[in-house]
Amino acid sequence: MAHSSDYDVLVDMGFDKERAVLAVKKTGGLQGAIEWLEETQDTPLEDLVGSSASTLGEDDPNAEPPALKDGEEAHSLVCADCGKKFRSEAQASFHGAKSGHLNFEESTEEIAPLTEEEKKAKLAELREKLAAKRSTMSEQDKIDKKKNEDIRKKSTKETQDIKEDLQKKEQIKEAAAKRREKVAEIAAKEKIRAKIAADKEERRLKAEKEKAARDGRAPPAPIAAPPMATTSGPVSSKPASAYTETRLRLQTTNGNVQKSFPVDTTLFEVAAALGEESGFEAQSFVQNYPKKVFDQIDFGQTLKELGLVPSASLIVR
C-alpha cells in the first residue's frame, strides 16, 4: 500500500509513470525513489528498463536496494570523494557504479529517514528541477525547429533557383531554335524568288529568240548584270530605319564572331545564338564608340531600339 502511495506522489510530481514504477521497485520507498530519479534523470528509459530486467532478483551491486526494514541494524558509509552518506553497502556500491567514486569510509552516524517537512522540501526542489529541465528542453526544441525550418527554406530556395536556371536555359534554346527556323525560312523564300525570277528571264529570252528567228533577225544579246557598286563611286546612303538586317562583330575571349541578324532581334536572342555557336555565356555587351554598356536590363530591347543598325562591333563579357 505504501508503494502505491509513493508511486502516486511521484506521478503527481510530473514524473513519467514507467520511471516512477521502476524507481519504487528498485528502492522500495519514496526517499530512495527520489534519489534514484535524480541520478538517472538523463538516462534513456530504454536503458533503465533493460538494466532493471537484467538485474531484477540478482545480487547486483549496481542495483538500489529497498529501504532498511524494521529491526535491521542502522549502518552508514561516507564517500570520501564527494562526502555523500549512505545507509547500506548496496547503496554505496550503486553510487560508486554511477559516479566512478571508489573511496568509502565507515561512519557511526545514523542516517535518519526524511521528515515530512524534508520530504515536502525535497519534492518541491525536484519539481523545480523538473520544470527547469522541461523548459530548457522546450527552448531547445524551438531552436531545433527553427534550424530545421531554415534548412527546409534554404533547400526550397536552392531547388527553385535550379528550376529557374533550367527554365532560362530552355527559353534560350527555344529562342535560338525559332531564330534558326526564321532565318532558314527567309533563305528558302529568297531561293524560291530567285528561281522564279531566273525561270521568268529564261522564258523571256527563249520567246525573243524564237520571234527573232521567225523575223529573220539576230537574237537579242542578254542583258548584262548591273555593275557592283564600289567605294570609289558615289554611295547612296539610307536611314537606319530602312535596313532589315544588321551585321554584328562580336569579340569574345574565344575569338571574334561575325553574324547578321534581323533588326528586330533582341539582345537576349543574340546572346542565346552566341552561346549556341561558341558556348560563351554573355552577361553584357560593350560598345567602344560611342561608349555604351548593355547589361541584362537591356537584353529585352531589339538591335534597332539600341541603335546597333546597320552594323556594330561589340565586346562580349
* 130-165 pLDDT tens trace: 778 777 877 888 888 888 888 988 888 888 889 888
Average pLDDT over the chain, rounded to whole? Answer: 78
Q: Whose grid coordinates read 555604351?
A: 292
Query: What angle separates helix 2-12 from helix 30-39, to the nearest 10 degrees?
Result: 40
Q: What is the 3-state secondary structure (H, E, C) of the chain?
A: CHHHHHHHHHHHCCCCHHHHHHHHHHHCCHHHHHHHHHHCCCCCHHHHHHHHHHHCCCCCCCCCCCCCCCCCCCCEEEECCCCCEECCHHHHHHHHHHHCCCCEEEECCCCCCCCHHHHHHHHHHHHHHHHHHHHHHHHHHHHHHHHHHHHHHHHHHHHHHHHHHHHHHHHHHHHHHHHHHHHHHHHHHHHHHHHHHHHHHHHHHHHHHHHHHHHCCCCCCCCCCCCCCCCCCCCCCCCHHHCCEEEEEEEECCEEEEEEEECCCEHHHHHHHHHHHHCCCCCCEEECCCCEEECCCHHHCECCCCCCCCEEEEEEC
Strand 76-79 and strand 85-86: the pairing is: antiparallel
Residue 255, φ and ψ in degrees, nearest 5: 130, 180
pLDDT confidence of residue 261: 92
14-71 per-position pLDDT tens digit = 778 888 888 888 776 777 788 788 778 778 877 777 665 554 444 343 444 444 444 4
Which residues have a Cβ under 8 Å from the Cβ of 51 and sit 6 or more positions away?
A: 62
295: left (phi over 0), alpha (psi -120 to 50) or beta: beta
pLDDT bin (cut points 50, 70, 90) of residue 112 is: low
User: Mean pLDDT, to the nearest integer, of 270-287?
Assistant: 88
Number of Cβ within a 10 Å radius of residue 273: 23
Q: Closest by alpha carbon to 303, among 224, 250, 251?
A: 250
| Residue 267 to residues 279, 291, 302, Cα–Cα distance (Å) | 16, 17, 6
As a whole number of angstroms, the distance between CA 273 and CA 303 comes to 14
Question: Average pLDDT in the 88-106 region?
Answer: 77
Question: With a threshold of 0.75, does the pTM exceed it?
Answer: no
Give the integer Cα–Cα distance in Å for 268 and 248: 14
Task: Let me know how long the chain is.
Answer: 317
Query: Residue 231: pLDDT above 70?
Result: no
End-to-end CA distance of the chain: 88
